[in-house]
Amino acid sequence: MSSKFTDVMKAAKDEKQKPAKDERQKASSENIVNVCIKVPLSLRKRWTIEATTREVSLKDLIVEAVEKHLSEQ
């Protein structure tokens, strides 16, 4: 028997999420680099669930949140 969380996590892994067209265009004109941070597993799970719920990639969710936070300052 699988839990609801397990089902959401599986759906997130199974679903190939493509960035929006404007994001793909922006990415093609800029160099893409990796940013590695260590976060608690519970946060990563929460972010993954939220990204799946919104039907966006985890990267897009995090970039959107950081951009929103920086624009508010």
pLDDT tens per residue across span 5-47: 777 777 766 655 555 556 656 666 788 899 999 999 999 999 9
Indicate if the pLDDT at residue 1 is higher than 60: no
Residue 19 pLDDT: 57
Between vectors from CA 39 to CA 33 and to CA 44, what angle results, nearest 5°?
90
**pTM for the full predicted model:** 0.60
Q: Domain count of the chain?
A: 1
Dihedral sign for Cα atoms in the order 3, 41, 56, 21 = negative
Q: Look up tokens 């959107």; give the residue.
A: 64
Domain range enclosing 50: 4-71
Under 8 Å between Cβ of 61 and 47: yes
Rg of the chain taking only CA atoms, in angstroms: 14
